[in-house]
């Protein structure tokens, strides 16, 4: 079996000392090691942000694409070769701001991929602007008088969009986060984990300490109970308590690629093309 450090590349992480991305990365590598999937069968689709710089440090097949676009790339790869384990990763700005449209359709389409959002409630890479999950009133470079909009609630949003696996993790509890990541990857369908990941440098509100004082682990909740999950999703807004764990899971919904008759027998990449494209492509070589 592999060890977490087998997933290190030769590049050292460039994150700030104390960044929650270290914990997230550690949990991700632990989850991959424990799942024991051959490395060449894992594909990571990253957006753009501090979070997505993980593409440079993680030894799996990766695509470091465009801001807000890790999901469509992941979906395309899964449809081209559904034998791969496909995981999309990116920040809260990436996933709920510029990529919000893709999040909506990934949830409702039930692509068989996992999606891990490094949710630090700020735009980190661009040095500290308000993000879609920044709390109302939080001062940042882009809102020096305090954020005006109410924040997106990723758990409630995913549930309302029909996501079939909805969970929240915290980078301050690596073993628990690794467990959630493993469950999301193994889930048959869209496995979404919103991950509380303090940005030590730019978010002075949602600090490691802030989360420590509020998080608790869900235990014994009925993850098939959609109404209960919706109520739990609102707990942070209403009571300032932050549940961690799996809110909801439903594996009875068909996944996207299995509903494509063209893909029932084999993956797209194994199919013979009905036309010879070589002459057309020749001119580009
Ligand atoms: C298409 C496009 N739009 C905007 C940007 C500028 N940009 C780069 S990173 C970023 C936000 C990063 O915040 P987040 O996605 O939350 O990730 P973090 O850096 O906090 O991990 C933005 C707006 C870009 N590179 N490309
Ligand atoms: S700016 Fe924030 S999110 Fe980015 S590496 Fe530094 S601490 Fe981490």
Asked whether the beta carbons of 117 and 95 are under 8 A apart, the reply is yes
Nearest residue by C-alpha to atom 2 in ligand 2: 199
Name the residue ranges covered by the structural domains of the chain.
Answer: 4-256
Q: Is the CB of 91 under 6 A from ligand 1?
A: yes
The pLDDT value given to residue 275? 83
CATH number (2.60.40.2470, 3.30.70.100, 3.40.50.970, 3.40.50.2300) of 4-256 reads: 3.40.50.970
- Report the percentage of the chain scoring pLDDT > 90: 93
CA distances from 32 to 19, 70, 150, 240 (A): 21, 19, 35, 32
Give the residue ranges of DSSP H helices in 187-249.
208-214, 226-233, 235-239
The predicted model gives 72-96 an average pLDDT of 98
CA neighbor of 117 nearest in space, from 174, 207, 50, 57: 50
Structure tokens at 78: 């899964």
Q: Which residues does 220 contact at the CB level (< 8 Å), separation at least 6?
A: none
Asked whether the beta carbons of 171 and 249 are under 8 A apart, the reply is no
Of 83-87, 184-188, 219-223, 263-267, the poorest mean pLDDT is in 263-267
CA of 93 to the centre of ligand 1 (A): 6
The pLDDT value given to residue 1? 87
pLDDT at 49 exceeding the cut of 80: yes
The pLDDT value given to residue 274? 79
276 confidence band (pLDDT: 50, 70, 90):
confident
Report the alpha-carbon distance of residue 44 to residue 138 in Å, rounded.
32
190 confidence band (pLDDT: 50, 70, 90):
very high
pLDDT at 69 exceeding the cut of 80: yes
Q: Is the CB of 28 under 6 A from ligand 2?
A: no
pLDDT at 218 exceeding the cut of 70: yes
Atom of ligand 2 nearest to the CA of 18: 7
211 confidence band (pLDDT: 50, 70, 90):
very high
The pLDDT value given to residue 31? 98
Asked whether the beta carbons of 242 and 216 are under 8 A apart, the reply is yes
The pLDDT value given to residue 282? 77
CA of 51 to the centre of ligand 1 (A): 10
For ligand 2, mutation pick of 48, 50, 117 (most atoms within 8 Å of CB): 50
- Report the percentage of the chain scoring pLDDT > 70: 100
Q: What is the pLDDT of residues 122-180, one digit of tens each?
A: 999 999 999 999 999 999 999 999 999 999 999 999 999 999 999 999 999 999 999 99
The pLDDT value given to residue 285? 65
């Amino acid at each position: 079996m592999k060890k977490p450090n087998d997933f290190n590349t030769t590049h050292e992480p460039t994150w700030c000392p104390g960044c929650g991305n270290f914990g997230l990365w550690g949990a991700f590598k632990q989850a991959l090691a424990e799942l024991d999937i051959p490395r060449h069968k894992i594909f990571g689709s990253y957006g753009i942000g501090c979070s997505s710089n993980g593409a440079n440090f993680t030894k799996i097949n990766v695509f470091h694409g465009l801001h807000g676009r890790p999901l469509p790339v992941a979906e395309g790869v899964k449809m081209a070769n559904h034998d791969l384990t496909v995981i999309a990763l990116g920040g809260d700005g990436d996933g709920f701001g510029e990529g919000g449209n893709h999040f909506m359709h990934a949830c409702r389409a039930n692509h068989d991929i996992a999606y891990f959002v490094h949710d630090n409630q700020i735009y980190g890479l661009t040095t500290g602007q308000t993000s879609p999950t920044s709390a109302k009133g939080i001062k940042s470079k882009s809102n020096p008088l305090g954020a005006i909009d109410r924040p997106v609630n990723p758990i409630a949003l995913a549930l309302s969009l029909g996501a079939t696996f909805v969970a929240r993790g915290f980078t301050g509890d690596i073993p628990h986060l690794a467990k959630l990541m493993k469950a999301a990857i193994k889930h048959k369908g869209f496995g979404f984990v919103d991950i509380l990941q303090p940005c030590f440098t730019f978010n002075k509100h949602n600090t490691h300490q802030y989360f420590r004082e509020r998080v608790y682990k869900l235990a014994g909740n009925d993850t098939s109970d959609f109404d209960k999950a919706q109520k739990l999703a609102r707990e942070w807004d209403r009571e300032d308590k932050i549940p961690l764990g799996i809110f909801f899971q439903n594996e009875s919904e068909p996944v996207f690629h299995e509903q494509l008759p063209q893909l029932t027998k084999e993956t797209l990449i194994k199919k013979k093309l009905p036309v010879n494209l070589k002459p057309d492509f020749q001119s580009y070589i």
